Amino acid sequence: MKDDSSPIGGAGLGLRRDHLAELAGAVPDPIRFMELASENWIGVGGRSGERLQEVARQVPLIGHGLSLNLGGWTPLDTGFLEQLRRFIESFHLRLYGDHLSYCADEGQLYALLPLPFTEEAVRHVAGRIRQVQD
């Protein structure tokens, strides 16, 4: 059983659905955490959801996001944020991070685009990060 209060360190592994059945049985000892792309797992249920819970009981899970659009100018997707919150709570993710970029403008751009190096961009992104954290 993992200790939820201990720092995360050591070697991790990117969790892919193809490996879920094998890892649910027993995560190999050298693996100290699993990273997953949250967007690929939100809403997972059935046997895959059960197996993901089995993995989460063995090692800490870390979420790696791809689509928060922290640097974008369109409103944050509150529906997606709620789905993400429920996913993080359901599978006890220890950490969650997303790219400091923009990736949507009236729809997903399917690219992680850089932010300008300006004070305005820093203020804008800081405000959006506060919104997400709330």
CATH of the domain at 39: 3.20.20.150
Q: Is 5 part of any domain?
A: no
Q: Is 2 part of any domain?
A: no
Q: Is 3 part of any domain?
A: no
Q: Is 98 part of any domain?
A: yes
Q: Is 4 part of any domain?
A: no
- Name the pLDDT band for 104 (thresholds 50, 70, 90): confident
- The H or E element spanning position 23 is helix 20-25
At 61, give phi and psi (nearest 5°): -105, 140
Instruction: Please give the tally of structural domains in the chain.
Output: 1
48-95 pLDDT, tens digit each = 999 999 999 999 999 999 999 999 999 999 999 999 999 999 999 999
Reduced to 3 states (helix: H, G, I; strand: E, B; else coil), residue 39 is helix
Q: Is 1 part of any domain?
A: no
pTM of the model: 0.87
Nearest Cα to Cα of residue 37 among 6, 1, 70, 13: 13
Q: Is 108 part of any domain?
A: yes
Domain enclosing residue 115, as ranges: 11-133
Reduced to 3 states (helix: H, G, I; strand: E, B; else coil), residue 94 is coil
First CA to last CA distance, the chain? 30
Tokens in use for 57? 């009981």
* Cα three-residue angle 106-114-63, rounded to 5 degrees: 80
12-32 pLDDT, tens digit each = 999 999 999 999 889 998 999
CA-to-CA separations, 90 to 52, 57, 84, 87, in angstroms, rounded:
10, 12, 10, 5
